[in-house]
Structure 1
Amino acid sequence: MLFSHSKQTPPSGNASLYFWGFILAFFTQLSFAGESQRLDLILEDEALPGIAWTFVDKSEVLSGGNGYADISSAKSMTASTKVQVGSVTKTLLAVGVLHLIFEGRLALDANVEVLLPSLNWGNPWRGEAPITIRHLLEHTGGLDNLRMWQFLNSGVSPDTPLAEAFPNDHDHLLRLRTRPGSQYSYSNMGYALLGMVIEKVTSERYEDYLNREVLQPLGMLDSSFSFITQDQDPRLAMGYFEGAVPQKSVPLFLRPAGQFTTTAADMQFFLRFLLGSGSLNGGQFVASEHMENLGRPSTTDAFHAGLTMGHGLALAARDRHGVIGECHPGETFGFRAQLCVFRQEQKAFFFAVNGDDEVADYERLTAYFIDAMNIKPLAQTPVIPNGALEQYAGLYTLAPANMAEFAWLDWVFNSIWLSVDRQRNGLLLHSLQAQPRLLLPLGDGLFRDVERSVASHVFMGKANTVLSYGLITWKKASPLPLLLAWASLVAGAVGVLYIILRGAWLTLRGTSFANSALFLPWICLMAFAIPAYLYSRQSFLQFGELTVASALLTLVSGLLPLSLGFALFQVRRRRKLILPDLLAVLVSLQLCLMLVFQGELPMVFWR
């Protein structure tokens, strides 16, 4: 393990205090050196290349690195290795916005639609609830998260103007889906808009402003909002996907939401600032009341209903591993990161891993630092028995889904079901994505996940038909439409599989298949292999672009329902009706028509 240690210098002239402080620092460092073996084991178990980390504990600061910054050269990760942090970027950008507010150059409740009038806004609540800076900071503006073409696009350069991510010919791009301030819904687009606001107010690139006015005063001289690649700076760790596949830095359309390079040693200065009251270098940098609300929700319906968990001006209150912190995770191509602040204990930590692995359990790292820093666990809020749990049982659907582009898929696969667990006097939350969770009643519509310390969920609205856990909101719904959708999906999948297998069987037998009613839909289904192959030959970053692969995918997926409609006409004309063929065409066609109605067909990811 490679690590560095620093300690705040005591007042001059107090030699005894300095001596004992040195002894304490030495044994703290020695103790943590032993702990590093646990960290190495986690990296090995989760197949992660390396980690850079730092934590602040009152006057003590420890920072270091484990594993490799570059596997090919066996270069070690250290506290001075540069890493990318993904969405942790948002916390620093938020501080920059709050600094502008402290200086009086911007207002927390300023109307963003007025600040950026050239954009094609779609706010049906414009008169009563304009979208404000506060809403963008807290992810309560009602905006979509992002679109695929904004996320995966190789046509972006480090100098692409931010406004190009919001073209005016996209009528629904900035359409608000919920009343501003009422609900949390994570939005990368929202923070990209904050970057545009900074540029509007300062008349310069947001990167230049934040590098000079935020990073330099903080003393973060090895950090930058500007785009940096491993080719430009050998100190930048290589990012990796699963299987140790290297991935260099990628320019982003929505770069204010996730483009930031730093070191573990630099992040200690930011952690110290977050633990304070907003002062910096002898003067106030951010208003103290804004610092107090960095991780506290303030406007949402869930907050007004009594739920304290949620997102504040820069961080989200997070109840995990028996403790509550104000945190922000980050993910970008080849990297994962986490930042957590425990204000009452005056402790904080940050880590960045140069491995973006969908299988790895990054929560083990969070739990490790909470344990290593000896964060005191909270007593769990006591349960208040509730004899009327049946009123909450039923189906709940996302309201809204995080990405409008995949709203139908979220509705089908990410809806939840609540049932009553009489034996444990609670509610069981069922989903397709995880094991059932037990929610215990706390009174006034509040419930606590059995593994949490305080209220984690709240029911609200008329007849308690809306459920929120601060960062996701569901609304009670009839299960019938969802059951019909599932029936349509299963039947359609069976029909498509029948067409594929029957066509393959007839072709292998040498039977003339060209005159079959299933010939055209079979050809269309087989044609999906062409864009699939072309996608495999191009960079994953081109997934959101108009390429030959994406154009063919749109064409083939658009022709599929037409081919099925023609096949139905052909089947009905035949003198000899083949019932399985008819049923296969019918169930496949009904699925396609449903997907067309839901906007899922034709498949278009480049607009």
Structure 2
Amino acid sequence: MNLFCKVYILILLTGSLNAVGQSKALKLDELMQAYLNVNEFNGSVLVSRQGEILLKKGYGFRDRKLNATNEPQTIFQIASITKTLTATLVLKLVELKKLTLQDKLSQFCPNYPHGDSISIQDLLAHTAGIYNYTQDREFMLQQATQPATEAKMLALFRDKPLDFPPGSNWNYSNSGYSLLGYIIQKVTQMSYQQALNQYVLSPLQMTHSGFDFSQVNPDKRATGYYAQTGKEYTQEAPIVDSSVSFSAGSLYSTVEDLYRFHQGIQRHQIIGVNLQTEAYRPIRHQYGLGWMIDTVYSQRVVSHSGGIFGFRSNIARLPADDVCIILLANIETPALAELTKGLLAVIYEQPYELPVQKRSITLPESILMSYRGTYEISEPHLVIQVKVEDGQLIVYPAKGPRSVLVAEDETHFFDQLQESIRIWFEKDSSGSVDRMLITMNGNTRIGKRKND
């Protein structure tokens, strides 16, 4: 083959690859726009694969009053994605031999109850059994926006009984990650903020990330919104004080800065291969050290989501393929996990659906009453209460938020906030409702009705 032919073939291949990339970018944007149209996304997104950014864009309003739109540079509260950075910092301190994963809490907080049986790894993996202070509804609604000392925060959970013996079970705990922040301060002799800046943010040039969201220039930050009814995200949300969310959820950032974090992790710029591999090892409940671990399209995906007043976030990474999806929203949408799955489907050329606005009907209360009861899903185990309140069918998952169901017909319903979640009821041979079926993220789960 002569040189001309080789060059011609290379040009054809390059053009073909560019066309594929452009096609995926268009599909990614179409999917994002569809979620915007049904009011299930409003924020910024970045999608990349093997170092190529396929989509980087803002959607919807940064500030409704000013009609200012979101951009890739818009600053958002990232809430619990903070935990992945806190965990990375802890592992860096392990690498520097300033502590170990087996060190006990009592070494840093000598009088902490059960501190001799709670390890650093337990705190990172949510296996310590420590009460989660955000379950204190009165505190979160009345005091979370005010500065709090370490002593005040510890008082929220220090003397609560453990949910289980450390290491024996799993329960998500913001309190555990707050303790990690206090430990970081003792080990480094710096504030948590200074330590994270020195070991993570500055080395990765995450210059638009920080801690006190209330002090960010209003022209650069997004305003968070919540809904009083349905998906009408128009109410401005208060800002949780950074001393309250602290090392469990105080960080703000941009999609561009979080992409720098992804690149730094991929290149092992902060911690080495062995410790990063340890972080990706599921310990319990598909959670490792600061990451949720799952499998998508035969590839390991590590991710973390976040939620705080007026904001939702999600970062999902497939390390082997160097794929990264970052979603930052300034509305309290529950749809980010499903949206992430759709974006991955585009990248891996798998089937996906564009969300559409569903039509609803009003059912007589007598029909709704026939669905009342307790339903139990066996795997993974979940108990759901179905109630009728003010002429609406409401579901209450154990330890989860209530959801309002909207009727499509006499037996089929969808979630008012996330319309792709479908619920329907089936009857036995005698005509009595005996089970409910829930379809979410392409999976259907069956809940059998229990005798009340």
Secondary structure of 2:60's aligned partner = strand
Decide which of 365, 385, 409 is 2:339's aligned counterpart. 365
State the shift of 1:33 in Å: 4.3
Q: 1:293 to 1:321 in 2, by over 3 A?
A: same
Would the aligned equivalents of 1:191 and 1:256 in 2 still touch at CA under 8 Å?
yes
Instruction: Indicate the structure (1 or 2) with the bigger Cα radius of gyration.
Output: 1
1: CA distance between counterparts of 2:10 and 2:199? 35
Would the aligned equivalents of 2:24 and 2:347 in 1 still touch at CA under 8 Å?
no
State the shift of 1:38 in Å: 2.9
| Identity among equivalent pairs (%) | 23
State the shift of 1:201 in Å: 0.7
2: CA distance between counterparts of 1:294 and 1:369? 25
Alignment of structure 1 residues 52-451 onto 2, 5 Å: 52-62=44-54, 63-119=56-112, 121-122=113-114, 126=116, 130-146=117-133, 147-154=136-143, 156-158=145-147, 160-167=148-155, 172-173=159-160, 175-224=161-210, 226-229=211-214, 232-242=217-227, 243=232, 244-252=234-242, 253-276=244-267, 279-280=268-269, 285-298=270-283, 300=284, 310-319=286-295, 324-357=300-333, 361-374=335-348, 410=398, 435=437, 451=443
Would the aligned equivalents of 2:51 and 2:322 in 1 still touch at CA under 8 Å?
no
TM-score by length of structure 2 reads 0.70
**1:240 is aligned with what amino acid?**
Y
1: CA distance between counterparts of 2:49 and 2:139? 39
Q: What residue ranges of structure 1 are gaps of 5+ in the alignment?
A: 1-15, 301-308, 378-391, 399-408, 415-429, 439-448, 457-478, 487-607
**2:152 is aligned with what amino acid?**
E
| Cα deviations by residue, 1:64-98 (Å, 9 ceiling, x for unpaired) | 22222112222121111111111111111111111
Bigger drift between 94-103 and 139-148 goes to 139-148
Secondary structure of 1:344's aligned partner = helix
| Cα deviations by residue, 1:32-89 (Å, 9 ceiling, x for unpaired) | 14642331121111354x2211123112124222222112222121111111111111
More strand by share: 2
State the shift of 1:342 in Å: 1.1
State the shift of 1:318 in Å: 3.1
Would the aligned equivalents of 1:101 and 1:107 in 2 still touch at CA under 8 Å?
yes
Q: 1:47 to 1:328 in 2, by over 3 A?
A: closer
Secondary structure of 1:293's aligned partner = helix
Q: 1:394 to 1:354 in 2, by over 3 A?
A: closer
1: CA distance between counterparts of 2:303 and 2:19? 29
2: CA distance between counterparts of 1:98 and 1:17? 44
**2:275 is aligned with what amino acid?**
H
Q: 1:27 to 1:241 in 2, by over 3 A?
A: same
More helix by share: 1
Would the aligned equivalents of 1:69 and 1:238 in 2 still touch at CA under 8 Å?
yes
State the shift of 1:236 in Å: 0.6
2:33 paired residue number: 40
Secondary structure of 2:261's aligned partner = helix
2: CA distance between counterparts of 1:223 and 1:163? 27
State the shift of 1:431 in Å: 11
State the shift of 1:150 in Å: 4.7
Secondary structure of 2:34's aligned partner = helix
**1:177 is aligned with what amino acid?**
D
Q: 1:233 to 1:413 in 2, by over 3 A?
A: closer
Secondary structure of 1:330's aligned partner = strand
1:492 paired residue number: none
**1:435 is aligned with what amino acid?**
L
**2:304 is aligned with what amino acid?**
H
Secondary structure of 1:237's aligned partner = coil
State the shift of 1:329 in Å: 1.0
Bigger drift between 56-65 and 80-89 goes to 56-65
**1:218 is aligned with what amino acid?**
L
2: CA distance between counterparts of 1:270 and 1:72? 32
Would the aligned equivalents of 1:239 and 1:355 in 2 still touch at CA under 8 Å?
yes
| Cα deviations by residue, 1:427-453 (Å, 9 ceiling, x for unpaired) | xxx999x73689xxxxxxxxxx9939x
Would the aligned equivalents of 1:327 and 1:341 in 2 still touch at CA under 8 Å?
yes
Q: 1:195 to 1:24 in 2, by over 3 A?
A: same
**1:92 is aligned with what amino acid?**
L
Bigger drift between 203-212 and 17-26 goes to 17-26
Secondary structure of 2:325's aligned partner = strand
1:571 paired residue number: none
2: CA distance between counterparts of 1:31 and 1:23? 13
Would the aligned equivalents of 2:27 and 2:346 in 1 still touch at CA under 8 Å?
no
1: CA distance between counterparts of 2:255 and 2:332? 18
Q: 1:374 to 1:394 in 2, by over 3 A?
A: closer
Would the aligned equivalents of 1:53 and 1:350 in 2 still touch at CA under 8 Å?
yes
**1:85 is aligned with what amino acid?**
I
Q: 1:155 to 1:350 in 2, by over 3 A?
A: closer
2: CA distance between counterparts of 1:188 and 1:65? 29
State the shift of 1:27 in Å: 6.9
Q: 1:23 to 1:164 in 2, by over 3 A?
A: farther
TM-score by length of structure 1 reads 0.53
State the shift of 1:320 in Å: 6.3
State the shift of 1:397 in Å: 7.7
Q: 1:431 to 1:80 in 2, by over 3 A?
A: farther
2: CA distance between counterparts of 1:178 and 1:200? 27
State the shift of 1:310 in Å: 0.8
